[in-house]
Amino acid sequence: MNYQSIALFCGSSRGENPDFAADAVTFGRTMVQKGLTLYYGGGCIGLMGVVADAMMEQDGTVIGVAPDFFKMGPVLADNITEMIYVKTMSERKQLLEKRADAFVIFPGGFGTMDELFEIITDAQLGLHKKPIVVYNAEGYYDHLKALLEHFTEEGFLREFHKDLVSFADTVEDIFQALDHYENTNSESWLSKIKH
């Protein structure tokens, strides 16, 4: 698949495992090597800050999208290519979805899950056909994989919707998954919800 930009969803913390931050650096540097633009939440902290810093150190292109109410705090980056301000967290997600060609999810918490599930739901509804890759660093998202299987087994998630999300075990695998992504949604299912 041809893509020029990636929206990154990840934690505003670094987590307990130092490998997460090391992988974030590798991811950021690989983004620059591939000439890709990063869209993200605009933070200077956590894994998001690590990726942004790694890219800026290599003269990469990093675009932050942040709600206005973050302006008063010390959480926003001041060294990135561009910062776009919006009014709400919902607007932030909508703009990231509109601007980016693909989505990558690193370890995170509530906010990361909120972003991931909105992106998946919009893919399910046919609002976009962009790749979604979850980085299962050190098995961090094993429980999420199991939960999606559980949803499917219990009849609340169709197999072709579960497969809208790819999982990658290494940083290299993230880009392999993006390169070979195929949208699995059903046109017959989409036609039922659109009429």
Of 122, 95, 102, 132, nearest to 190 by C-alpha is 122
- Residue of 188 and 128 predicted with greater confidence: 128
Q: Give this prediction's pTM.
A: 0.95
Measure the CA–CA gap between 67 and 190, rounded to whole angstroms: 32
Closest-CA residue to 77 (of 12, 158, 148, 6): 12
Identify which has the larger pLDDT, 76 or 55. 55
CATH class of 5-194: alpha beta
Q: Which residues sit opposite 104 in a β-bridge?
A: 8, 133
pLDDT tens per residue, range 17-55: 999 999 999 999 999 999 999 999 998 899 999 999 999
pLDDT tens readout for residues 132-144: 999 999 999 999 9
Residue 94: what pLDDT?
96
pLDDT for position 74: 78
Structure confidence at residue 190 as a pLDDT band (50, 70, 90): confident
- The answer to whether residue 108 scores a pLDDT higher than 60 is yes
User: What is the model's pLDDT at position 19?
Assistant: 96
Rg (CA), the chain: 16
Query: What's the sign of the alpha-carbon dihedral 89, 58, 11, 13?
Result: negative
